[in-house]
């Protein structure tokens, strides 16, 4: 059963990229620091072998660094070609600056 697990401190998320790659239950997950919340999705782009933590975060979307596919971070939905598959999302909870994840 998936349970809440601590994966990082809020301050670990890069202020430059707004992203951080972490591991939850053996899976690579990307954390995104948005102005009003922290979100989390699978880190590996479903289109190829790219880490979304190396992508470009803007206005609640992440652009894949390999072929520039774009996803809405809050919904996991692809926004433009070549990506067509939703990202797996994770529930996020922050307590005392510790980020906890739970699979949705
Ligand atoms: Fe991400 Fe191709 S690997 S868009």
Q: 65-74 — which CB contacts under 8 Å span 24+ positions?
A: 69/45, 71/41, 73/32, 73/34, 73/39, 73/41, 74/39
pTM for the whole structure: 0.95
Q: Hey, CA dihedral for 35, 40, 46, 48, is it positive or negative?
A: positive
What distance in angstroms lies between residue 53's CA and the mean position of ligand 1's atoms? 12
What distance in angstroms lies between residue 16's CA and the mean position of ligand 1's atoms? 22
- Span 5-32, mean pLDDT? 97
Q: Which of 67, 60, 27 is nearest to 44 (CA)?
A: 27
| Each residue's pLDDT tens digit, 16-29 | 999 999 999 999 99
- Which residue's alpha carbon is at the smallest distance from atom 3 of ligand 1? 48
0.90 surpassed by complex ipTM: yes
39, containing H or E segment: strand 38-42
């Amino acid at each position: 059963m998936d349970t809440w697990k601590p994966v990082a401190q809020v301050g670990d998320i890069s202020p430059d990229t707004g992203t951080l790659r972490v591991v939850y239950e053996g899976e690579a997950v990307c954390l995104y620091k948005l102005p009003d919340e922290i979100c989390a999705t699978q880190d590996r782009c479903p289109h190829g072998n790219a880490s979304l933590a190396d992508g470009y975060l803007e206005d609640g979307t992440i652009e894949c660094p390999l072929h520039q596919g774009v996803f809405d971070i809050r919904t996991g939905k692809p926004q433009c070609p070549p990506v067509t598959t939703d990202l797996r999302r994770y529930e996020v909870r922050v307590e005392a600056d510790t980020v906890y994840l739970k699979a949705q």
